[in-house]
Copies of this chain bind each other. A is one copy, B any other.
Amino acid sequence: MKGYLWTGGLEAGRGEGSSNGRLAPWEAIAVDAVGNVIEFWGFKRNQGRVWALLYLRGEPLTAGEIERELDLSKGGVSMLLRDLERWGVVRRVRLPQDSAWRYGAETDLIRMVSHVIEEREAGFIERIRADLAEARRMAEESGNVPREHLARLEKMATLAEHVERALRLFVKTARLDVGGILGALREDSQR
């Protein structure tokens, strides 16, 4: 099911699912490794795989190529690319001689991660806070809530705030921290 597959050889059987591109075994491994990380971070595995492929190849590929290399469906590739593009980690380019779009990897993966994490976080932690505030309001209004219970509720809210702060900080430092490497990633895409 994975898509690890043979290294050389021509098409073995012509069963429909099988004939994929010629992803080298080492590419398959690297691509999947990235897929795993990315999935771990709450994205779709295949978003990571697509990006990794584009990055490793260095040059822009067409949707069709991606489809074959990673053995994904047309529709799937379309959606994945749209996501990646929206997040700014993949750029769509039109080669003059070619009639189809091509997609190239942008190097700041971090942008994607921080971007989306921030976003999710914003909408999310915000809601949590609202909920906790609401709970507090209700508890206070209802009157018959023991004081220490209330106190604990408040502390919970405080905790949430601190965690939030820590998270923001993390995203920020991570961005800076990794900034250097990004430079490294980038430098040869130009050469």
* Inter-chain contacts of A56 with B (CB < 8 A): 149, 152-153, 156
- Write out the residue numbers on chain B whose beta carbons fall within 8 Å of the beta carbon of A156: 30, 34, 52, 55-56, 185
Quick check: is A177 within 8 A (CB to CB) of the other chain?
Answer: yes
**A116 within 8 Å of B (CB atoms):** no
Bound CA span A165–B181, Å = 13
Would A37 and B160 count as touching, CB distance under 8 A?
yes
Contact with B along A161-191 (1 / 0, CB 8 A): 0110111011001100110010011001001
Contact with B along A59-79 (1 / 0, CB 8 A): 000000000000000000000
Is there a chain B Cβ closer than 8 Å to A44's Cβ?
no
Point out the residues of chain B lying under 8 angstroms from A178, CB to CB. Answer: 159, 162-163, 166
**Contact among B29, B37, B134 for A29, CB-based, below 8 A:** B134
Whether the Cβ atoms of A139 and B177 lie closer than 8 Å is: no
Contact A128 B169 (CB under 8 A): no
- Chain B residues with CB under 8 Å of A55's CB are 152, 156
Say whether A166 contacts B155, CB under 8 Å.
no
Q: CB distance A162 to B142 under 8 Å? A: no
- Which residues of chain B have C-beta atoms less than 8 A from A134's C-beta? 26, 29
A residues near B (Cβ < 8 Å) are: 24-27, 29-30, 32-34, 36-37, 40, 42, 52, 55-58, 109-110, 120, 124-125, 127-128, 131-132, 134-136, 138-139, 142, 145, 148-149, 151-153, 155-156, 158-160, 162-163, 165-167, 169-170, 173-174, 177-178, 181, 184-185, 188, 191
